Amino acid sequence: MIRKIPEEDDVEYRSTVLRLYLELPETPSRAGPHDRKSAAVLHARGIKLATVESALLLASLRRLGRPPDMPPLSPIHSLAYFFPVIQELLDNPIPDDYREYLRRKVRLLDSRRQVKKCS
């Protein structure tokens, strides 16, 4: 079921999603038109920001936590990359307090790998 979010929240919601996405390692330095459309789709579906942030962090953590002897993954080029993980968390929610753990782990692993932002 889609829950309607008031129109005035639309711009703030999309801005927050895009900011969270762009702050991640291995993501572009700016959002493209497809990213803005993906953020609008998440808003229209009524996906909570907490769920979106958790999915972004979880997917990033999975990438950053790959064994160093594995071939590197290509950079993330689209917010849509995270849609399967968002669906995963909709199907199997995680506790809200787990998000802070994910934030800390992403920061730690990112600082160890010194991953650069792509253009």
For the chain, which residues make up each domain, given as ranges? Answer: 7-113
Neighbours of 17 (CB within 10 A): 25
Q: Residue range 52-70: average pLDDT?
A: 93
pTM of structure: 0.84
Residue 37 has pLDDT above 50, yes or no: yes
Report CA torsion sign: 89, 90, 92, 95. Answer: positive
The number of CA neighbours under 13 Å toward the Cβ of 84 is 4
pLDDT at 87: 98
Residue 118 has pLDDT above 70, yes or no: no
pLDDT at 11: 92
Which residue, among 34, 75, 92, 99, has the nearest Cα to 42 in the 3D structure?
Answer: 34
pLDDT at 48: 95
On average, the pLDDT of the chain sits at 88
3-state secondary structure of 20: helix
Calpha distance 44→31 (Å, rounded): 19
Instruction: Give the 3-state secondary structure percentages of the chain, helix then strand then coil, rounded to 5.
Output: 60, 0, 35
Which residue, among 35, 36, 50, 62, has the nearest Cα to 90 in the 3D structure?
Answer: 50
